[in-house]
Structure 1
């Protein structure tokens, strides 16, 4: 394999549907790959009916929901809050992918759930837990986002961070550039400024930090977006052609870390539709909002710019919005 990953494989990172199948098509071919993927990755009903787009145009626009959690797939932890919430928007033509990070502390109205939860105001990352975690938690989170943004989704994925760590290791680690020194509240590790190769444990530890950073959770969101791009870049340099054991391990790791809802679209059709996304097509976006203390609780509150952002996604004006709002666009 050459030094660059196939375009469709890079696109799969942007959508978050198959984070680790990045450069495998050149090894086994699209059809063989998707057959093995279908046997490995769990399928789920992750989207609420109101949040699900009934018709998908293969040429876009497309919206995907990516949920990152420490606990899923049958976990019995009583607190299963989603640590990462990404809306991935691909405008018509599928030449760009906007990674829109939703603040975990965003104050929202969560609708009632089938498990008896009556609805109410809370942080958006509580929706996954209030819905019961797993598939039902993802459905309540998607319903909450639909009510907030007016968006309908073409698919969704829940990513388990533990499994993702193994995927990064199988890719040989990723190159991450630290811009501000940060001490991990989880491990005590100090990440000094500078670029370095990180293994899965270090990379996931780094992108989960938000305390003592100049931008707080906004910096954490940017670091997570940068990790997706770093995985994309590393995949383009990973030679799986001569290492079928590593290839099989990679596919198994994907299966251990993902539950997906493709909204009835065959994976092969999705892959072919996304093949034209260029390598530099990922754009990181922060939701215009600000932190506020309400009743002694720290929240993030959407402002008018956030409403304009979601209107731009619905109205196919993201290129224009990003050009007019560079302060909310992250360099990846």
Structure 2
């Protein structure tokens, strides 16, 4: 720790904030920030989300940092054994904390799920079934982390679950986000048609759009990219929204962000994590697809890992060499 450098964090530069959500907003610095940070900290739910075998022994805040983020339709405290995780993201911040890689894990990825602590049997299945097999809730996220650790050899610095309904409120409080649609798509949830071009979307529209995968050229891969784009759109909107003159609205945004999260920071105080990530540039986000391809097995549609290239990605994550891997495998990497 360097007390002399503990200045007020510039919220407009923070994407990962507590580091643990599909999206975390950047906010303008304001007077009374410590008070607001304390209030935000108290709104965040905390659980032991990581399986012991998937957890790093110690987190060094100068990096590298690797987090597991899960998006769900339901807040973690609501147990639903029939629920599967809708979005799975591995966020890797290399040493120096000047770049972030957003690695989207296909939810249909065929993996070997270990036995659950609840007595559920292990075996091959789609990765988003790990949450269901673990019994939902905290047990489901733990089994998901154990599954990913077995697949990749990674240990995580923390994990988080974001409730999509809560983030809808955050987007609305920010005045919506600017999303650019590349291919026309009709929502299978609402019937809304998203036409090509850049549009201002409210929370409901944005979350509806980024969850579409049918009728898109890249299917689920396009859905993953659109979710990554939403991360940046929220960051940019928060940076453009002048909340310094409206502390009441800032407080509402902070509470909405905190209220949508359940986190496991591996013992690191949220404020220290915010400070460590305060200088992460907005243009430093790169989206990464896990090298894989769709495949039908016994009349069931899966996504199957490219063992050679995907294994190289996982090794690069373990060794903090993702930049080198990305240079040699550009087809799987794109700016967010």
TM-score normalised by L of structure 1: 0.94
Q: How does 1:166-205 map to 2 (within 5 A)?
A: 166-205=169-208
Bigger mean CA deviation after superposition, 72-81 or 143-152: 72-81
> Which position in structure 1 is the counterpart of 2:328?
324
User: Take 2:290 and 2:87, find their aligned partners in 1: how far apart are those partners?
Assistant: 13
User: Take 1:165 and 1:8, find their aligned partners in 2: how far apart are those partners?
Assistant: 20
2:119 maps to 1:113? no
Aligned CA RMSD, in angstroms, stands at 1.7
1:28 Cα deviation after fit? 3.2
1:137 Cα deviation after fit? 0.9
1:10 Cα deviation after fit? 2.1
Are the equivalent residues in 2 in contact too, given 1:14–1:88 (CA < 8 A)? no
1:72 Cα deviation after fit? 3.0
> Which position in structure 2 is the counterpart of 1:302?
305
Q: How does 1:81-100 map to 2 (within 5 A)?
A: 81-100=84-103
Are the equivalent residues in 1 in contact too, given 2:159–2:265 (CA < 8 A)? yes
User: Take 1:289 and 1:256, find their aligned partners in 2: how far apart are those partners?
Assistant: 35
User: Take 1:14 and 1:181, find their aligned partners in 2: how far apart are those partners?
Assistant: 34
Are the equivalent residues in 2 in contact too, given 1:72–1:80 (CA < 8 A)? no
Structure 2: where are the runs of 5+ without partners?
1-8
Among residues 140, 143, 148, which one is paired with 2:151 in the alignment? 148
- Number of residue pairs the alignment of both structures matches: 327
> Which position in structure 2 is the counterpart of 1:314?
318
- 1:293-321 C-alpha deviation (Å, 9 max, x unpaired): 00100000001211111111111111111
> Which position in structure 2 is the counterpart of 1:271?
274
> Which position in structure 2 is the counterpart of 1:39?
42
User: Take 1:114 and 1:16, find their aligned partners in 2: how far apart are those partners?
Assistant: 24
TM-score normalised by L of structure 2: 0.93
1:75 Cα deviation after fit? 2.5
Are the equivalent residues in 2 in contact too, given 1:61–1:90 (CA < 8 A)? yes
User: Take 1:24 and 1:134, find their aligned partners in 2: how far apart are those partners?
Assistant: 33
> Which position in structure 2 is the counterpart of 1:249?
252
2:245 partner SS? coil
> Which position in structure 1 is the counterpart of 2:30?
26
Bigger mean CA deviation after superposition, 237-246 or 226-235: 237-246
1:291 Cα deviation after fit? 0.4
- 1:91-116 C-alpha deviation (Å, 9 max, x unpaired): 11111000000000000011111111
User: Take 1:212 and 1:179, find their aligned partners in 2: how far apart are those partners?
Assistant: 12
| Runs of 4+ in structure 1 over 6 Å off | none
Q: How does 1:4-23 map to 2 (within 5 A)?
A: 6=10, 9-12=13-16, 15-17=19-21, 19-23=23-27
User: Take 1:53 and 1:122, find their aligned partners in 2: how far apart are those partners?
Assistant: 26
Q: How does 1:235-246 map to 2 (within 5 A)?
A: 235-246=238-249
- 1:66-107 C-alpha deviation (Å, 9 max, x unpaired): 000112333354421111000000111111000000000000
Are the equivalent residues in 1 in contact too, given 2:81–2:133 (CA < 8 A)? no
